Chains A and B, each alone.
Chain A
């Protein structure tokens, strides 16, 4: 099973709302990723978790707050977002995130976020 699931599929929120995106995998992968993708652009890396610890933060604004409660679950907490944050948010996982470890990435279907 190479499935990564993401909920919700779609989310509409106002600039004062607080919401969370959820990502889950049951492949035993120890690295999980959040990407942001704008229309007709490639995915841009936001965060990497390796063994449930944040290993990469690509200078993402603090209104995005990641959380990795366990090795199967990754959350992205959203607060005080701006309309320009509207995008497809993709989660991915891989066996590892280190050189020499199989880091083939498997992606979820994404959450389409609209900020009003």
Chain B
């Protein structure tokens, strides 16, 4: 059974800092990994999808990396802004035909 861990559970930073969110998973037999953000009481917004054959994916100030063999992914956020405050979730998609979500990292960016 896939188990996903996200570290840290919570993070508070001043505006403008660069930061890294970590995701580790126990079963490396995945097809892809997706990063989401979730605002309180809202649905999930897809940020990035990395295929298992890729090492990196970038979108604007976001960069996600994937090391499938070691079961790790990181989400790098450059020049953080208060609007980035949210919970960030990673979800590897495995050969059981489904995604497994981590508990998330709750990010607060202070003005």
Contacts and interface: CB of A to CB of B under 8 A. Distances in A.
Interface in B52-111: 89, 91, 93, 95, 97-99, 101-104
Interface stretch (A14-22, A68-76, A78-86, A100-108): A100-108
A42 B104 contact: yes
Nearest to B6: A42
Interface string B29-62: 0011010100001111110010000000000000
B95 A99 contact: yes
Interface string A86-110: 0010101000011110011111111
A88 B95 CA distance: 27
A106 B43 CA distance: 9
A86 to B, nearest CB: 14
Contacts of A45: 98-99
A110 B32 contact: no
Interface residues of B, number: 22
B89 A48 contact: no
Contact of B44 (A43, A100, A112): A43
> Secondary structure at chain B's binding surface: helix, strand, loop or mixed?
strand
Interface size range on A against B: 20 to 34
B97 A104 contact: no
A106 B101 contact: no
Contacts of B93: 103
23 contacts: A4-B43, A41-B103, A42-B101, A42-B103, A43-B44, A44-B101, A45-B99, A56-B97, A56-B98, A88-B41, A90-B43, A99-B95, A103-B31, A103-B32, A103-B93, A104-B32, A104-B49, A105-B34, A105-B91, A107-B45, A107-B46, A109-B43, A110-B43
